[in-house]
Amino acid sequence: MKKLVIGNWKMNPATLDDAKKIIKKTRSIASKLNHTDVVACPPFVYIQSAISKRDPNTLKVGAQFVSYEDGGPHTGEVSATMLRDMGVKYVIAGHSEERARGDTDDMVARRVKAIVESGMNAVLCVGEKARDEGGVYLETLKDQIKNSLANIPQSCAKNIVLAYEPIWAIGAKEAMIPDQVYEMSLFVKKVFSDVFNQDQAMKVAVLYGGSVNFRNAAEIIKTGQVDGLLVGRESVNMPGFVELLKAVDSIT
C-alpha cells in the first residue's frame, strides 16, 4: 500500500497567484513519486484551481471542512455533494482547530457520515489535549474516536482515514517521539476495530500529524509504523515540503 501524505494548507496562502504556484510545485513533485500518494487541502476558494481535469490522479485534492447539511438555508456552508461534484476526494473532519471552535464529537460524526456517504474519503482527526501519568487521556481519546464514528455504516469504513494528532504536539518545537507514535497508532486501530471489526482495522490508514517536517518525517513513518502524515504549516513551505515528500517516498 502506498503511503499517504495530506497537506492541510489551513488559511494559506494570501493570494490566488501564490496558491497556483504551490499547487504547480506540489503536483510536479507528486508526479515523480513512486510509493506515495499526495493530497492537497487548500482553502475553499482555491480548490477549483487545484483540480486538474487532465491528470486528476497525480495530485488528489481535498477540503479542510464540510457541512453535515445537504443543502438549504445554511449561509456560508459547503455541502459534501458540492465538494464531490467539484472533484474533491478527501475531506478533513474533526481537526483540533474546529473542535476548539465548538465542534462536538456528534457534529464531527455527522460530518464524517456526510463525507463517506457521498463517496469521498473522510480524514478523521483525533488526539488528546495533554498526557497524564495515570493514562486517563487514553480513555478520553477512545471516547472521542468512538463518538466521532457513531452511526457510520460498516460499508463506509473503507472510506475513513484516521489522523492521529496529539494537540500538545501541534505547532510545537518537536514532534511526538516515534516510539510513542507507534504505540498510539496501535491504540487507535484497536478502537477502530471495536467500532467496526478487526478486518477493517487492519486496512484503515493511520496518519500522524503534529510538528512534522522533512527532518523527522521518515523516522516517524519507519519507527512509528504509520501509513502516512497529515502535514500543516510545512505543506505550504515548498522547499521543506518537497524534501519531506522525497524522504517519505524513499522508504521501502
- Residues annotated as part of the active site: 95, 165
- Distance from C-alpha of 85 to C-alpha of 78, rounded to nearest angstrom: 12
DSSP-assigned letter for residue 164: E
- Distance from C-alpha of 122 to C-alpha of 149, rounded to nearest angstrom: 11
DSSP-assigned letter for residue 213: -
- Distance from C-alpha of 83 to C-alpha of 47, rounded to nearest angstrom: 9
Cell for 121? 474519503
- Distance from C-alpha of 43 to C-alpha of 83, rounded to nearest angstrom: 12
CB 35 within 8 A of CB 252: yes
Other beta carbons less than 10 A from residue 181's beta carbon: 24
- Distance from C-alpha of 39 to C-alpha of 27, rounded to nearest angstrom: 10
CB 160 within 8 A of CB 206: no
Q: Maximum CA pair distance of the chain?
A: 53
